[in-house]
């Protein structure tokens, strides 16, 4: 397994290099839009010597200096569908953001929403040899985890140690230096389709950019929308995107489950388009202007001109009442939410101490969604907007940007992943100098 | 009633064209700070260099530029306030003035930028009779030359030539005959001109013999002889020459020694002064002694 994470380690090195240069771009490749933010890491806390979380929850160290969004092309269900089109869209967003930032960006941290994520909970155990837990023990206990057979064409996107326990004590965040006999760990591993990652990697490469990190967009949304106590006590973040709906469950400030429903706002739009016989662009516009999920008596009287370009007067003068529109939208939204409910049930969400559900993403802006969601998902539902970060333009603070903002936090304070820890000694190459040094350290 | 105007069309989706790959790369290149800086500074410099180079590559242009520079320079240097009109030599007698004036430029008016004052000073100082000189452009456009002449203190006979010598032993000119400068002592012999002070001290100490002294001769670069008229010679020691001369003067005063027929007074050995008489005197003395012996 040692060489499985080489690409992840390479990306981490790249991220370090980007931090050194001080400029890194965030790319959210979504189905309906592609957002690019340019971050500059030069805040007062860049070289902070004090431990703990800094001022403004550690976000004063970076600043958004460029932001751009573009209509996404060639992306379906959060996966790259047409390579050239996607590349062009990425180029558009990056160029506009660079122009705003007036700085050249070379490193990109990207997130993707689709690619059929699958979560695995792993656990591993180790008898601590020296009595005191060392870094080597931690890497060894993680290497001892039983990795399930996640399929041939899959790639590990996240592998985060969620919990450590030493003998009878559990919930340790950092067991290094503690005395005990038996160290166990729980790990959350997320795998996605390898082809999807390769495609997005290739697209970014073709834009002369270096990929410095890759994250699941559900995870990034959860990072930015869930407040601290929700992350601590247990909450689910539902990111209603364009082509897919991401679900991430957080507990004790760690993501413990991620899944995605391959339905989203685009499906609602196509329903409207099909139901009302109008082009998709008009349907999208009608959805954003007049859409809703709860019909009232007033809505029967509110007529919407849906127009047309055929030249046929009768056809071009069609109107539809808002109640009809809601009647088209609601079943699809219900379907999405019920699918989410099924996924959460499968994950055992009801066993969490707190069952807060936060809706975010562009789809969460449908009026009345929170009422509908509380009927399906439970009582504790709220609409979430991303955290405010420094320098973010007004146009990019909506819930549609929660995964982009989450990625900025991911860039600033990345969570420890498996590959961030030391490599266990027995996985070094046999003739490695490091291995020799380690042998000397262990024996003297 | 239905409106006759066409319904409001929904606004078209904003145009959002993707940049071409070339345009994208160009923008990224221009955002590279090093490249941008070099373009901002390098391109104008290159342009200026090309224009200047193409202009200078034509000989006619170069000539025009040189002429213009020359004219401007000349126009500035030939302003009346920089022009030198005359020469004023001070501190020298007339013959020396004439000698010095011959060495100075004579085409006036001339711009002071064209005069090399340092070289002029050196040529004037190269004259034997000049100890030091200062040359400057003074008021009213006059070239002020101030000469400090050498003061000759002795005549030095070098072979057949009579040189004027100043107190430092440096030649200050020449005279044709001894009679021109009877006021100066005549010295001769090898190394005489380096010991001018000793010679002058002896000459000053000659006192009553002064009128009879014809010259001083340095013997063996060590000591002095005083030559008197009637071919008399006083041989002085190398140390205490003046005292020895005083002794001769005292003897002369007491016994009029030098009035007699004495050829050489030898005082080189202070404890044994010796006289050499002329031949006739010696013979006469011998005769007198013989006569005395027979008597």
Mind listing the pLDDT tens digit for each residue in B230-243? 888 888 888 888 88
Domain termination residue (choose one: A330, A348, A367): A330
Domain termination residue (choose one: A310, A330, A350): A330
Considering the domain boundaries, does residue A369 fall inside one? Answer: no
Q: Kindly report the average pLDDT of chain A as a whole number.
A: 86
Q: Which chain B positions have a beta carbon within 8 Å of A82's beta carbon?
A: none
Mutate to test the interface with B, among A74, A83, A86, A104 (most CBs of B within 10 A): A104
Q: Would you place residue A1 in the very low, low, confident or very high pLDDT band (cuts 50, 70, 90)?
A: very low
Given its phi and psi angles, is residue A74 left (phi above 0), alpha (psi -120 to 50 degrees) or beta? Answer: left
Residue A207 and residue A211: Cα distance in Å, rounded?
Answer: 11
Arithmetic mean of pLDDT, A397-414: 89
Chain B CB within 8 Å of residue A262 CB: no
SS3 A261: strand
- Which residues contact residue A28 at a Cβ distance below 8 angstroms, ignoring those fewer than 6 apart? A34, A35, A36, A110, A111, A217, A220, A401, A403, A404, A407
Q: Which chain A positions have a beta carbon within 8 Å of B33's beta carbon?
A: 104
At residue B294, does pLDDT exceed 80? no
The residues in A 264-293 lying below 8 A from B, measured between CB atoms, are 281-282, 285
Query: From the list A95, A281, A316, which residue is nearest B24 (CB)?
Result: A95
Q: Which chain B positions have a beta carbon within 8 Å of A282's beta carbon?
A: 10
**Number of A:B CB contacts under 8 A?**
44
Q: Do B27 and A99 touch (CB under 8 A)?
A: yes
**In the Cβ-directed half-sphere of A352, how many Cα atoms lie within 13 Å?**
25
Taking the CA atoms of B124, B126, B128 and B131 in sequence, report the sign of the dihedral they define. Answer: positive
- The pLDDT value recorded for residue A60 is 59
The residue of chain B with its CA nearest to that of A100 is B31
SS3 A66: strand
Q: Would you place residue A50 in the very low, low, confident or very high pLDDT band (cuts 50, 70, 90)?
A: low
Q: Which chain B positions have a beta carbon within 8 Å of A75's beta carbon?
A: none
Q: Which chain A positions have a beta carbon within 8 Å of B18's beta carbon?
A: 88-89, 91-92
Q: Do A281 and B13 touch (CB under 8 A)?
A: yes
Q: Do A91 and B21 touch (CB under 8 A)?
A: yes
Q: Do B7 and A316 touch (CB under 8 A)?
A: yes
Q: Which chain B positions have a beta carbon within 8 Å of A317's beta carbon?
A: 2, 7
At residue B179, does pLDDT exceed 80? no
Considering the domain boundaries, does residue A251 fall inside one? Answer: no
Chain B CB within 8 Å of residue A98 CB: yes
Arithmetic mean of pLDDT, A410-437: 73
- The pLDDT value recorded for residue A321 is 93
Q: Kindly report the average pLDDT of chain B as a whole number.
A: 83
Q: Do A307 and B9 touch (CB under 8 A)?
A: yes
Domain termination residue (choose one: A144, A163, A193): A193
Residue A403 and residue A385: Cα distance in Å, rounded?
Answer: 10
Q: Do B31 and A98 touch (CB under 8 A)?
A: yes
Considering the domain boundaries, does residue A299 fall inside one? Answer: yes
Residues in chain B: 295
At residue A171, does pLDDT exceed 60? yes
Q: Do B19 and A92 touch (CB under 8 A)?
A: yes
Q: Which residue has the tokens 């062009």?
A: A88
SS3 A162: strand
Chain B CB within 8 Å of residue A91 CB: yes
Q: Would you place residue A402 in the very low, low, confident or very high pLDDT band (cuts 50, 70, 90)?
A: very high
CB of A113 closer than 8 Å to CB of A157: no
Q: Which chain B positions have a beta carbon within 8 Å of A285's beta carbon?
A: 10
Structure tokens given for A139: 């890497």
The residue of chain B with its CA nearest to that of A317 is B7
Q: Do B10 and A285 touch (CB under 8 A)?
A: yes
- The pLDDT value recorded for residue B211 is 81
Q: Which chain A positions have a beta carbon within 8 Å of B39's beta carbon?
A: none
pLDDT tens readout for residues B198-213: 888 888 877 788 788 8
Structure tokens given for A137: 């023990």
Residue A186 and residue A207: Cα distance in Å, rounded?
Answer: 38
- The pLDDT value recorded for residue A98 is 93
Structure tokens given for A408: 């900025």
Structure tokens given for A119: 């979560």
- Which residues contact residue A409 at a Cβ distance below 8 angstroms, ignoring those fewer than 6 apart? A59, A220, A223, A224, A387, A389
- The pLDDT value recorded for residue A53 is 56
The range of the structural domain enclosing residue A281 comes to 265-330
Residue A25 and residue A37: Cα distance in Å, rounded?
Answer: 6
Considering the domain boundaries, does residue A416 fall inside one? Answer: no
- The pLDDT value recorded for residue A3 is 47
**In the Cβ-directed half-sphere of B50, how many Cα atoms lie within 13 Å?**
6
- The pLDDT value recorded for residue A2 is 42
Q: Which CATH number does the domain housing residue A282 bear?
A: 3.30.420.40
At residue B183, does pLDDT exceed 60? yes
pLDDT tens readout for residues A112-131: 888 899 999 988 888 887 77
Arithmetic mean of pLDDT, A256-276: 93
Domains of chain B, by residue range, sit at 82-149, 192-294
CB of A359 closer than 8 Å to CB of A369: yes
Residue B32 and residue A95: Cα distance in Å, rounded?
Answer: 13
Q: How far is the alpha carbon of B71 from chain A, nearest alpha carbon, in Å?
A: 53
Q: Residue A412 is inside which H or E element, if any?
A: helix A402-412
Residue B236 and residue A213: Cα distance in Å, rounded?
Answer: 113
Residue A15 and residue A21: Cα distance in Å, rounded?
Answer: 10
Q: Do B24 and A102 touch (CB under 8 A)?
A: no
- The pLDDT value recorded for residue A55 is 52
Chain B CB within 8 Å of residue A99 CB: yes
Q: How far is the alpha carbon of A227 from chain B, nearest alpha carbon, in Å?
A: 35
The residue of chain B with its CA nearest to that of A284 is B13
Q: Do B10 and A89 touch (CB under 8 A)?
A: no
- The pLDDT value recorded for residue A337 is 94
Q: Which chain B positions have a beta carbon within 8 Å of A305's beta carbon?
A: 7-8
Among the listed residues A73, A233, A390, A405, the one whose alpha carbon sits nearest the alpha carbon of residue B17: A73
- The pLDDT value recorded for residue A266 is 92
Arithmetic mean of pLDDT, B46-67: 95
Of B95 and A156, the structure prediction assigns the larger pLDDT to A156
Class of domain B82-149: alpha beta
Considering the domain boundaries, does residue A138 fall inside one? Answer: yes
At residue A58, does pLDDT exceed 60? no
The residue of chain B with its CA nearest to that of A311 is B6
At residue A52, does pLDDT exceed 80? no
Query: From the list B19, B25, B31, which residue is nearest A102 (CB)?
Result: B31
- Which residues contact residue B29 at a Cβ distance below 8 angstroms, ignoring those fewer than 6 apart? B35
At residue A279, does pLDDT exceed 70? yes
Give the predicted TM-score (pTM) of the model.
0.67
Q: Which CATH number does the domain housing residue A145 bear?
A: 3.30.1490.110
Q: Do A91 and B18 touch (CB under 8 A)?
A: yes
Q: Do B27 and A98 touch (CB under 8 A)?
A: yes
Q: Between the CA of residue B285 and those of A227, B205, B262, B293, what are the distances in Å?
A: 150, 32, 12, 12
pLDDT tens readout for residues A213-250: 899 999 999 999 999 889 889 999 999 988 899 999 99
Number of domains within chain A: 2
CB of A146 closer than 8 Å to CB of A124: yes
Q: Would you place residue A51 in the very low, low, confident or very high pLDDT band (cuts 50, 70, 90)?
A: low
Q: Which chain A positions have a beta carbon within 8 Å of B37's beta carbon?
A: none
- The pLDDT value recorded for residue A257 is 93
The residue of chain B with its CA nearest to that of A87 is B18
- The pLDDT value recorded for residue B295 is 61
The residue of chain B with its CA nearest to that of A70 is B16
Q: What topology does CATH give the domain B192-294?
A: Rossmann fold (3.40.50)
Chain B CB within 8 Å of residue A167 CB: no
Q: Would you place residue A69 in the very low, low, confident or very high pLDDT band (cuts 50, 70, 90)?
A: very high
Considering the domain boundaries, does residue A141 fall inside one? Answer: yes
Q: How far is the alpha carbon of A90 from chain B, nearest alpha carbon, in Å?
A: 9
Residue A132 DSSP label = B
- The pLDDT value recorded for residue A332 is 94
- The pLDDT value recorded for residue B51 is 96
Q: Do B31 and A103 touch (CB under 8 A)?
A: yes
Q: Which chain A positions have a beta carbon within 8 Å of B25's beta carbon?
A: 208
Among the listed residues A52, A38, A103, the one whose alpha carbon sits nearest the alpha carbon of residue A393: A38
Q: Do A92 and B18 touch (CB under 8 A)?
A: yes
The residue of chain A with its CA nearest to that of B16 is A70
Q: How far is the alpha carbon of A178 from chain B, nearest alpha carbon, in Å?
A: 49
- Which residues contact residue A110 at a Cβ distance below 8 angstroms, ignoring those fewer than 6 apart? A26, A27, A28, A29, A200, A204, A211, A213, A214, A215, A407
- The pLDDT value recorded for residue B64 is 95
């Amino acid at each position: 397994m040692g060489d499985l994470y080489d690409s992840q380690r390479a990306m981490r090195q790249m991220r370090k290099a980007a931090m050194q240069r001080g400029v890194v771009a965030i790319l959210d490749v979504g189905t309906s839009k592609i957002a690019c933010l340019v971050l500059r890491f030069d805040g007062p806390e860049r070289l902070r010597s004090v431990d703990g979380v800094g001022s403004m929850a550690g976000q004063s160290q970076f600043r958004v200096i460029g932001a751009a969004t573009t209509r996404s092309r060639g992306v379906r269900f959060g996966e790259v569908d047409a390579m050239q089109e996607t590349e062009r869209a990425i180029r558009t967003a990056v160029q506009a953001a660079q122009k705003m930032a007036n700085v050249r960006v070379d490193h990109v941290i990207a997130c993707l929403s689709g690619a059929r994520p699958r979560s695995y909970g792993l656990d591993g155990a180790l008898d601590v040899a020296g009595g005191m837990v060392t870094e080597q023990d931690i890497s060894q206990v993680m290497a001892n985890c039983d990795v399930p057979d996640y399929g041939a064409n899959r790639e590990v996107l996240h592998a985060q140690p969620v919990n450590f326990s030493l003998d009878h004590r559990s919930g340790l965040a950092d067991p290094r230096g503690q005395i005990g006999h038996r160290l166990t760990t729980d790990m959350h591993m997320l795998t996605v389709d390898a082809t999807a990652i390769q495609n997005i990697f290739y697209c970014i490469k073709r834009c002369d950019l270096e990929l410095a990190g890759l994250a699941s967009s559900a995870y990034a949304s959860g990072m930015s929308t869930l407040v601290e106590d929700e992350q601590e006590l247990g909450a689910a973040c539902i990111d209603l995107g364009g082509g897919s709906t991401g679900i991430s469950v957080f507990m004790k400030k760690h993501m413990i489950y991620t899944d995605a429903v391959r339905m989203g706002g685009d499906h609602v739009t196509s329903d409207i388009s099909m139901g009302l016989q109008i082009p998709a662009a008009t349907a999208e516009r009608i959805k954003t202007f007049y859409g809703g999920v709860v019909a009232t008596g007033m809505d029967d009287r509110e007529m919407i001109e849906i127009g047309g370009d055929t030249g046929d007067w009768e056809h071009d003068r069609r109107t539809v009442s808002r109640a009809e529109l809601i009647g088209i939208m609601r079943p699809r939204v219900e379907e999405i939410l019920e699918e989410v409910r099924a996924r959460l049930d499968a994950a055992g969400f009801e066993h969490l101490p707190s069952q807060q559900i936060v809706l975010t993403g562009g789809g969460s802006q449908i009026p009345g969604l929170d009422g509908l969601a509380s009927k399906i998902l439970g009582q504790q539902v709220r609409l979430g907007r991303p955290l405010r970060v420094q320098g973010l333009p007004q146009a990019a603070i909506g819930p549609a940007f929660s995964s982009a903002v989450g990625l900025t936090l991911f860039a600033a304070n990345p969570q420890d992943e498996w590959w961030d820890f030391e490599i266990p000694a027995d996985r070094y190459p046999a003739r490695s100098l490091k291995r020799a040094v380690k042998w000397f350290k262990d024996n003297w | 009633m239905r409106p006759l105007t066409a319904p409001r069309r929904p606004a078209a989706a904003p145009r959002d064209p993707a940049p071409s790959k070339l345009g994208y790369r160009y923008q990224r290149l221009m955002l590279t700070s090093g490249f941008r800086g070099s373009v901002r500074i390098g391109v104008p410099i290159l342009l200026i260099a090309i224009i200047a180079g193409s202009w200078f590559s034509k000989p006619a242009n170069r000539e025009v530029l040189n002429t213009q520079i020359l004219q401007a320079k000349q126009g500035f240097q030939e302003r009346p306030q920089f022009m030198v009109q005359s020469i004023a030599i001070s501190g020298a007698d007339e013959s020396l003035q004439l000698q010095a004036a011959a060495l100075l430029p004579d085409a006036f008016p001339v711009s002071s930028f064209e005069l090399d004052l340092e070289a002029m000073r050196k040529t004037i100082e190269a004259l034997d009779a000049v100890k030091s000189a200062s040359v400057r452009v003074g008021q009213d456009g006059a070239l002020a030359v101030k000469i400090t002449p050498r003061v000759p203190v002795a005549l030095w006979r070098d072979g057949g030539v009579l040189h004027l010598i100043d107190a430092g032993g440096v030649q200050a000119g020449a005279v044709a005959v001894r009679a021109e400068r009877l006021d100066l002592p005549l010295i001769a012999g090898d190394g005489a001109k380096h010991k001018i002070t000793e010679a002058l001290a002896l000459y000053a100490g000659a006192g009553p013999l002064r009128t009879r002294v014809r010259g001083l001769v340095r013997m063996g670069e060590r000591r002095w002889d005083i030559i008197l008229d009637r071919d008399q010679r006083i041989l002085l020691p190398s140390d205490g020459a003046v005292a020895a001369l005083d002794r001769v003067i005292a003897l002369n005063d007491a016994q009029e020694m030098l009035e007699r027929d004495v050829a050489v007074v030898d005082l080189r050995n202070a404890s044994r002064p010796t006289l050499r008489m002329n031949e006739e005197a010696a013979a006469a003395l011998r005769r007198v002694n013989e006569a005395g012996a027979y008597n």
